[in-house]
Amino acid sequence: MARRPILVFDSGIGGLTVLREIRRVLPDRRLIYVADDAGFPYGDWDEDRLRARLISLISGLLADYTPEITVIACNTAATLALADLRAAYPGACFVGTVPAIKPAAEQSRSGLISVLATPATVRRDYTRRLIATFAAHCDLNLVGSRHLARLAEAHVQGTPYDSNTVRTEIAPCFIEKASRRTDIVVLACTHYPFLTKVFEQRAPWPVTWLDPAPAIARHVLTVSKAGRDLSETEPAPVDDTADIAIVTSGRATPTLHALLRQFDLALAASTTN
């Protein structure tokens, strides 16, 4: 029997930045991409309502696709509900995307680090705990952006964006203290790596824009290998069924279709909504 697929979930197109890296390390695995575009943007949701929505959506996806691994490729969702999802579905395997505060603290030379995320991710206890655990020795500056996730959606789908908005949204990431200045900005929303070039052009000085997607993909690879070692004596055949994308709105514009095609994803006819 072919191995079960890997499901990658986000509120929109952001998780594609994670899917791209998973495909690099696991080129033979079937991938299912789910964009909860009917719920986008998650950054604006009340926590209890979003938690309930995630638990119910993921329940349907687990039943329909029985993924081997479900990657919550959304910081806003994972920092809120990863523990709840694991508790609700103990038989399922989840990998989350959470702000890359630990690697940033290890790599920063100046000790001045900014975390650029949705306002919701900035507010989460989970994010505060990561800082206390891994970066207590650094100056951590949390920057909640109200507009960048929408702007990334527009940018990737070919709509012009306002450069001044980008400049204003990233400006609080840049801090100078005595002779030190910010040297790492953690991209703590999976939409933002689509804007890295735009950020670089508008940054007051060069910094490392830390995209955790390659590290998440390596973690998925490790989890996937561990699963195989436990349950299989021989490698399972490759599942050559097409990789698909599901959008919960049930509607995809021609530009979204084209984008999904660029990622070698066929839009599924059915939706989860």
| DSSP 8-state class, residue 90 | T
Q: Which of 3, 33, 76, 105 binds ligand DGL (CB under 6 A)?
A: 76
Give the integer Cα–Cα distance in Å for 51 and 4.
26
Out of 93, 138, 173, 189, pick the active-site residue.
Answer: 189
Q: Is 42 an interacting residue with respect to ligand DGL (CB under 6 A)?
A: yes
Asked if 145 interacts with ligand DGL (CB under 6 A), we say no
* 10 assigned to a ligand binding site: yes
Write the CB contacts of 17 (distance below 8 Å, at least 6 apart in sequence).
Answer: 73, 190, 191, 193, 194, 211, 213
Q: Is 76 annotated as a binding residue?
A: yes
Burial grade of 169 (CB within 10 A; 0-12, 13-18, 19 or more):
buried
Stretch that binds ligand DGL, among 5-13, 64-72, 82-90, 234-242 (CB under 6 A): 5-13
For ligand DGL (CB under 6 A), the number of binding residues is 17
Under the binding rule (CB under 6 A), the answer on residue 11 touching ligand DGL is yes
Under the binding rule (CB under 6 A), the answer on residue 187 touching ligand DGL is no
Length of the chain, in residues: 273
Is 173 labeled as catalytic in the residue annotation? no
Which residue do the tokens 């789910």 mark?
Answer: 34
Q: Identify whether the C-beta of residue 18 lies closer than 8 Å to the C-beta of residue 228.
A: no
Give how far Cα 99 sits from Cα of 74, 162, 182, 206, Å: 10, 26, 17, 20
Q: Is 127 in the site for ligand DGL (CB under 6 A)?
A: no
Residue pair 110/206 in contact by the 8 Å Cβ criterion: no
Stretch that binds ligand DGL, among 69-77, 81-89, 102-110, 208-216 (CB under 6 A): 69-77
Active site residue 138: no
Least distance from ligand DGL to the Cβ atom of residue 78, Å: 8
The answer to whether 79 is annotated as binding is: no
* Beta-bridge partner residues of 34: 9, 246
Q: Are 106 and 77 in contact (CB under 8 A)?
A: no
Shortest spacing between CB 12 and ligand DGL, in angstroms: 6
Instruction: Put residue 26 in one of left, alpha, beta given phi > 0 → left and psi -120 to 50 → alpha.
Output: beta
Determine if 191 is a binding residue for ligand DGL (CB under 6 A): yes
**In the complex, minimum distance from the CB of residue 131 to ligand DGL, in angstroms, rounded to a whole number:** 17
Q: Are 69 and 32 in contact (CB under 8 A)?
A: no
Nearer to ligand DGL, 9 or 65 (CB): 9
264 assigned binding-site residue? no
Could you give the residue numbers annotated as active site?
A: 74, 189
Q: Which residues bind ligand DGL (CB under 6 A)?
A: 10-12, 14, 40-43, 74-76, 118, 121, 149, 189-191
